[in-house]
Amino acid sequence: MNEKILVVDDEENIVDLINATLSAGGYYVITASDGKDGLEKAVKERPDLILMDVRMPVMDGFTACKNIRANPVTAKIPVIFLTASTQKGANENAQKSGADHFLTKPFDPIELTEFIDTILHKPLVKNKLLIIDDDPSIREAVKIYFEHSGFEIITAANSDEAMKTIHYTPPAIIISDILMPGIDGYQLCKKLKDSAETENIPLILLTSRSNAMDELKGFESGADSYVAKPFDLQYLGEEVNRLLKKELLKNDKTK
């Protein structure tokens, strides 16, 4: 593992921590103290991935990222914003600037390394993600977020439509609402987990029901995770990555 990581942050202690952690993980680390310096080094060094703070002197992270995306030399380099900013709309601004991911400080250095490992070593074939929800606005919001994260998205408005889709195009993971017309999410989950063809597909139940009994019912139906609405897309993304990684490790052990 000799991938090159560019760390752009004006806080020396943060840079030192990331540098030490990633170097120990086998990465070659380059550093920059502001957006302008980071932009210049991105063009010169052409790193495999960029970790960038948002609030920096000379040029902020949003501006630097837009310039990185505008340059054909650096346009396809993954960019992760790593910042203490919790202002409303920060995640949305990060996506508009062209960032691939948005993580908040404080962070766990080991988890950050594992996250980077996942990004840089994911298979060339995109993971198919099936979104099942009768609310088109929910389907669209989740679709946009995960497409931006590199997934191939399939959608269904109800369980019957989902079953047909799964038969012809098996997904790597499923996100399903519970309250839907016809077969609800609990019944769909149990049906999928009872079938040898689909029992190993990770399934996340996404619902406005958030009490303990409903959550227990979800896990009893075979769900791998249970996320309550209103939900944070970043958290949902973390759950998807966690379950896919878990399934990958399970498959490796059985080989």
95's CB contacts (< 8 A; 6+ apart) are 102, 148
Q: Can you tell me the distance from the alpha carbon of 37 to that of 46, in angstroms, rounded to the nearest whole number?
A: 13
Angle at 179 between CA 174 and CA 182, to 5 degrees: 90
Secondary structure (3-state) at 6:
strand
- Give the pair of three-digit tokens for residue 46: 């052409």
- Give the pair of three-digit tokens for residue 42: 């991105």
What pLDDT is recorded for position 89? Answer: 58
Question: pTM for the complete prediction?
Answer: 0.53
What pLDDT is recorded for position 71? Answer: 94
Q: Can you tell me the distance from the alpha carbon of 167 to that of 180, in angstroms, rounded to the nearest whole number?
A: 20
What pLDDT is recorded for position 118? Answer: 80
Q: What is the DSSP letter of 115?
A: H
What pLDDT is recorded for position 46? Answer: 95
Q: Which of 115, 86, 95, 96 has its CA nearest to residue 5?
A: 115
What pLDDT is recorded for position 21? Answer: 84
Rounded to the nearest 5°, which phi and psi values hold at 207? -155, 160
What pLDDT is recorded for position 124? Answer: 39
Q: Which domains does the chain have, with CATH numbers?
A: 4-120 (3.40.50.2300), 128-254 (3.40.50.2300)
Q: What is the DSSP letter of 27?
A: -
What are the mean pLDDT values of the chain's consecutive 10-residue runs (255 residues total)?
A: 87 89 85 95 95 91 92 92 67 76 80 82 67 94 84 93 92 94 93 93 85 79 89 86 78 54
